[in-house]
Structure 1
Amino acid sequence: MRHARNNELTDRRSAASDAKAALLTAYRAAKTAAEPSRSARQAERISLVEAREARRAERERLKHEEQTRIVTLAAQKQAAIEAAEGAEIEARNSAENARISRVVEDEAARKAERDRRYAARKSRQA
């Protein structure tokens, strides 16, 4: 009886070993049979990766152009604001100068009128 049990164990071991060998052989055969389609799939994956990289580069280029455009617009707006501020300051200064000159002219006119009245009074007294 002991011998029968060992034979069963030996049979099971050899059957398992044969099954593993068959699986390995089938795997190797499938691997060699799938080699052309594997290289085609790999080439397809490479082309997809290249297309993805090209799209990414295009997105980055567009993003960079948009940022450049935004910076340019901001610089133009800033220049326009500074020009408007400069024009406003210039207008304020010219208005202030005109007001000062009017005040000076008015003061000179008042002095001239006062001097005229003084001269007229002196001429009447003399």
Structure 2
Amino acid sequence: MRDKETSLADRLSTAAKAKQILLEKARAKAAHNDPGFAERQAARHVAAIEREARAAERKKAKLADAAREAAERVAAEDARLRALEAEQEAKKMEAIERAAREVAAEAERKAARDARYAARKARKK
């Protein structure tokens, strides 16, 4: 029975040989040993560069849209402020015209009142 049992040293050497065989198989199957590996790596690299270029284009377009929208907002705000200023100026001019009409009407009423007073004085004489 003892003949069939293996010693610790035998078991360790068998395990080491098995690990070595597995390691050699893995090295044989390694990607860098594959003839198409370099082509695939180059294709992946080109795809990554193209992907980055598309992302940069999207970012550039997004920034351009944001700048355009900001310019439109500024222009709209400027137009709104100009319209508000024009409205205020029109109200001011209207108030000045109204005041001028009131002064002119008051002058007419005073002239009419003075004319009546003068006519009354003339009748009494």
TM-score, normalised by the number of residues in structure 1 = 0.85
Considering fraction of residues, name the structure with more helix: 1
Distance, in Å, in 2 between the alignment partners of 1:114 and 1:17 is: 132
The match for 1:122 is 121
CA RMSD of aligned residues (A): 1.9
Counterpart of 1:33?
33
Task: List alignment gaps of at least 5 residues for structure 1.
Answer: none
Match of 2:92 in 1: 93
Task: Give the unaligned 5+ runs of structure 2.
Answer: none
TM-score if structure 2 supplies the norm length? 0.86
What is the aligned partner in structure 2 of residue 72 from structure 1? Answer: 71
Matches within 5 A, 1:103-114: 103-114=102-113
Q: CA deviation at 1:17?
A: 2.5
What code does the residue aligned with 2:15 have?
A: A
Give aligned pairs, total: 123
Using the TM superposition, give the Cα deviation of residue 45 of structure 1 relative to its aligned residue in structure 2, in angstroms. 1.8
Q: What is the alpha-carbon distance in structure 2 between the residues aligned to residue 93 and residue 76 of structure 1? A: 25
2:101 is aligned to 102
Identity %: 40
**SS of structure 1 residue aligned to 2:36:** helix
For residues 2-54 of structure 1, give each alpha carbon's deviation from its aligned partner in whole angstroms, at most 9, with x where no partner exists. 5x256x235444332322222222222222532x3222222122112111111
| 1:15 corresponds to 2:28 | no
Q: Give the match's secondary structure for 2:95.
A: helix
Amino acid at match of 1:102: R
